[in-house]
Amino acid sequence: MLPERIRDHLLAENARADQWFSAHQGLFEELESELRGRIEPVDVSLPDKDGPWAYRTRYSEGDEYGVYLRCPRDGGEEQVILDVEREASDHEYFAEGDVEHSPDHRLLAWTVDTSGDERYTLHIRDLDTGRDTFTLEDVYEVVWGTSDTVFFTRVDEELRPSLVYRLTLGQEPQRVYEESDTRFSLSLGMFRSGAFVVIEASMTDCNEIRLIAVDDITADPSLIEPRAPGVEYSLEHQNDRFLIVTNVDDAPDFKLMEAPVASPSRAYWRELEAHREGRTLLDVDALGDWMIILARENALAQVSLVHRDGRRRQLAFDEEVYAIGIDAGLEFDASSFRLTYASPTTPDRVYEEDILSGERRLLKQRRIPSGHDPQLYRTQRMQVASYDGVEVPVTLLYHRDTPLDGSAPCLVYGYGAYGSCVPADFSADVLPLVDRGVVYAIAHVRGGQELGRRWYEAGRLEHKAASFEDLYAVLRAMVDRKFAQWGRLVIQGGSAGGLLVAATTDLVVRRDPGLVAGVIADVPFVDVLATMSDASLPLTPGEWSEWGNPIDDAAAREWIRGYSPVDRVGAHDYPALFVTAGISDPRVTWWEPARWVALLRECRTNEQPLLLRTNLESGHFGGTGRYASLADTARSLVFALAVMGLTSG
């Protein structure tokens, strides 16, 4: 429970924000209706075949959460295995976690978080009767081992997944592994082959993997290769070998290796695909004797198919800017896989790719009920020189009728941390802006991994300020190249992206007051120095390799203080700000954005809108359900349009 004084403060901030938005109620309702009109009211997923069954999800009209279904593989009566709509009916917040059937298809393990703090309750359901036969609180992640054995993780007092348990049904859970290093978190997995349970301990730039063979399910986990500073590796199982994506031996953009299952340690790793700087090897899936290799180069995905005998085929795509997803399915011996394709102008399409013939068959295309004509939009990629001459990629989307003469408003989105990439995919949420003449830009700043691992390394630790300089350079370039008008730019980012826009705002108010009209900072990580100086907070020790450890490293303390938004607030004219927080957020605690807003309110020298809205029922990811989250999105759109001078309702 929050102390009454703090709760009253947050409620007062919410009331202030709601009062501001009430002046734009007509526009809010218009935008919420537009967003709802772009959601398919009845939507059924493609079936995932596994043994005798095919599994899928279905949303009926009005559903927030939908249902999980299965039917016999070759057709027959459909069976509801989990009615999420019904399960969620008594909860303000309801986020399903893992939903996994047992290898023999008799049982269903499903987890749910009803508070937003990412602590889940595990349920085991008998699929013959439809009733839950077992419930366990305080679970984080779940994976089946055998048909009567599940493995699960639990979080510690710092909300770090640090414990792995084995649960044989009908018995008490047994602890399997505990991670004592507070910098590392645990995760669970299962290979498509079904042969091994995977236990991974990882931090930002280091990991190690342990395996438990399914045919010896009570054995202790077997370590593949011990952790070493800066060394990362991932595994895929293919018959008698493991496929290993790793950065060992000076391969920052990763290479592909193999090792025998019988001797998988690093001493036996053999190179299959060499490292190539600037082309990041992301993942490998095994289907029979084939590998599906996913890579990224110049911020665009690449897909290659490679057989054990050396046969190789590169997949081709038509558009200049696009995003790709791979779904290799549930079965190891499949002869095809699914490929999801999208671009800023093209809604998601799901294809089936035949591995041998290369035939690509369209299975499903996302439909926009209110209508969508890709020919009305233009997308392009441009390069912007940052402060040090480094070229930053920018993805642009705009309506074909938008004048590119320096008069358009513009929203620039960015993230730039943890090596995460912002894909150039389709987003229905930005179309209400683009349809009103706003240029939408994604700034692929350093700290992401769009241009390879070195792009990430150039935006972390002592180099973190490069991320903010990159975004600042993009803002100036949007004006200089006449994609946007001075004073009609809005920047948006969430979590670490919230830090990006907050720290860039500090640059703007000191260098170019008036350049930016507004800032949308969603659950922003803004009290960086204080958070990284408190080892008791969730995630902090594991974050030191991303931001630095100011407790033990004076240099880290100074570079963090040099950009931490809370520590940089001063007597300046600030643009309008809309800041969000989640009361049960374990990733960015609510007091970070609250403290930042309080300092801004005290120190700023102007009276632009300064809005803080805290969700008192959720955590880091806001509201749940297909429609419940639309109000949050609509508020952000209202704010952006209002500060751009485009309100009409």
CA distances to 148, 165, 198, 251, 268 from 144, in Å: 8, 12, 11, 34, 29
Q: Tell me how crowded residue 497 is: count the other CB atoms within 10 A of its CB.
A: 28
Residue of 101, 123, 275, 620 marked catalytic: 620
Q: Is 387 helix (H, G, I), strand (E, B) or coil?
A: coil
The 185-190 sheet, strands edge to edge: 185-190, 196-203, 206-213, 222-223
> Strands 300-307 and 312-314: what pairing?
antiparallel
Q: How far apart are CA 58 and CA 45, in angstroms?
A: 6
Q: Which of 275, 285, 585, 618 is catalytic?
A: 585
Structure tokens at 470: 């990159």
419: alpha, beta or left? (left if phi > 0; alpha if psi -120 to 50): left
Q: In the annotation, is 181 catalytic? A: no
Class of residue 415 by CB neighbours under 10 A (exposed 0-12, middle 13-18, buried 19+): buried
Q: Is the dihedral of CA 324, 329, 332, 335 positive or negative?
A: negative
Alpha carbons 271 and 315: distance in angstroms, whole number: 23
DSSP letters of 43-105? EEPPPEEETTEEEEEEE-TT-SS-EEEEEETTS---EEEEEHHHHTTT-S--EEEEEEE-TTS
Backbone angles phi, psi at 428, to 5 degrees: -65, -20
Chain centroid, CA 145 distance in Å = 27
Looking only at the bridges linking them, the beta strands covering 410-413 and 439-443 are parallel
Residue 140, amino acid: Y
Distance, CA of 588 to CA of 547 (rounded, Å) = 14
Give dist(CA 466, CA 558) in Å, integer.
15
Q: Are 520 and 430 in contact (CB under 8 A)?
A: no
* Two tokens, residue 589: 């605690």
620 is catalytic: yes
**How would you classify the pairing of strands 206-213 and 222-223?**
antiparallel
Token match 């030191």: residue? 544
Structure tokens at 245: 């994506």
Closest C-alpha to 412, from 640, 578, 573:
640
**Alpha-carbon Rg for the chain in angstroms:** 25
Q: Catalytic: which of 162, 234, 495, 636?
A: 495
Dump the DSSP string for 293-348.
EEEEETTEEEEEEEETTS-EEE----SSS-EEEEE--S-TT-SEEEEEEE-SSS--
- Match 């013959």 to its residue by tokens: 128
Q: Is 370 a catalytic residue?
A: no
Is 198 in contact with 211 (CB distance < 8 Å)? yes
Q: Of 626, 447, 454, whose CA–CA distance to 525 is shortest?
A: 447
Nearest to 530 by CA among 547, 508, 509: 547
Nearest to 474 by CA among 395, 367, 363, 570: 395
Strand partners, 243: 236, 258
| Positions marked active-site | 495, 585, 620
